[in-house]
Structure 1
Amino acid sequence: MVQIVLFHAILGLRDAERDIADRFRDDGHSVLLPDLYAGRTAGTYAAGFALADEIGAETVEGRARAALDDADADAVLAGISAGAFRVGTLWSDRPVTRGAILIAGPADWSGLPRPDLPVAAHLARPDPFDDETYLEAWAGDPRASAALAIHRYDGVGHYFLDPALPDYHAGAAELCLERCLAFLASL
């Protein structure tokens, strides 16, 4: 079993992330669930972006980095939407991380992971935030030297694992979680 650090979406730490963490724990993994917004949440993406701007990128990044102080050096980095982007800002600083899970968004390749890092991406098709041209370029980026496995979920909303959002799709959410657990078991 592995330790996972799960970074929340732009909406803040909500029940959806807690439920995902519980699913991982039920499978025997330990999960750290940092609250990068210090208890604040938003109900819409627009409000989430405004909240993130109000808190400030430097504060959010500092809280994410501080959360890793409590994590094992080989902890799996996982993130949802903006949390997936957050993983990309951190993985180059974690040379022995066992893997990365990206849900509802890609990670930035500028902070390059090690070449053999197992990365599982779970992305809606289409996605309102990342169009197909962007995602194709992201997956084909020559800097993307990680062992990347991309799973697409057709006809679902951006954050399709959150039952509180109109994006939610029960079947896709279950399939995504099953695939995440299989990925974790492979590490």
Structure 2
Amino acid sequence: MTCRVIVLHSAFGLTDGVQEFAGLLRAEGCTVQVPDFYDGLTFETVTQGVAHRDEVGYRELYARVADLPVDGAALVGFSLGASFAQRLCRPGVRLVSLVAALDPLPPDKLWCGVDVQLHQLAEDPWVDDEDVPAFRAAVAAAGAMFDHFVTPGAGHLFTEPSQPEYDRDLTELTVDRIVAAL
């Protein structure tokens, strides 16, 4: 299989967990790009990572990835990176896979016509379940597929080994789901 994937990290930064996830995609035959828009900084807590995001500014951080060549690539974003993946999406992207985050679309914004996956724990404090139906409808209206994978449990970044909600099996299943969609 030939696939190109761009992995966008969370507010924790480009952690070992993100690198491990990218390694799992590489083991499936994907070419993986993992931009570091935190310039080497990583954080152990959400509070620290979000404080850095706010200090630098969302717009500045997004500007660091805004010019990535995304045509033909799948975009996989973790939390903050999921927000960036949604913004980077345009026709020509193969898939947008959002892990532990979903930004609601403004009512006047149309989806770009690319298939979407949302992967989350059932009790994720950073995913507002009320936003999912409208986003699903926008994706469907654009003629694309929306797959919502909800796993029982509480927590946010189940792919991040440094976090208590880390789940290796679920992380591998998420990779399998992404690869299957490609």
TM-score, with structure 2 as normaliser? 0.87
How far apart in 2 are the matches of 1:167 and 1:176? 15
CA change 1:144–1:40 in 2 (3 A) is farther
Look up the match of 1:149.
147
Look up the match of 2:29.
28
- Which portions of structure 1, spanning 4 or more consecutive aligned residues, are displaced by more than 4 angstroms? 140-144
**Structure 1 vs Structure 2 CA RMSD:** 2.1
Q: CA deviation at 1:113?
A: 3.5
Structure 2 segments unaligned to the other structure (5+ residues): none
Matched, 1:133 2:130: yes
For the Cα contact (< 8 Å) 1:3–1:72, is it kept in 2?
Answer: no
Map Cα deviations across residues 121-167 of structure 1 (whole Å, 9 max, x no partner).
Answer: 11110111123334344434588633211111111421001111112
Higher alpha-carbon deviation: 54-63 or 38-47: 54-63
TM-score, with structure 1 as normaliser? 0.85
CA change 1:144–1:122 in 2 (3 A) is farther
Q: Which amino acid aligns with 2:36?
A: D
Name the count of aligned residue pairs. 178
Matched, 1:103 2:104: no
Look up the match of 1:123.
120
Match of 1:87 among 85, 88, 97: 85
Matched, 1:19 2:16: no
Write out aligned runs for 1:66-77 (5 A): 66=67, 68=68, 71=69, 73-77=71-75
For the Cα contact (< 8 Å) 1:95–1:113, is it kept in 2?
Answer: no
Task: Work out the percentage of aligned pairs sharing the same amino acid.
Answer: 30
Structure 1 segments unaligned to the other structure (5+ residues): none
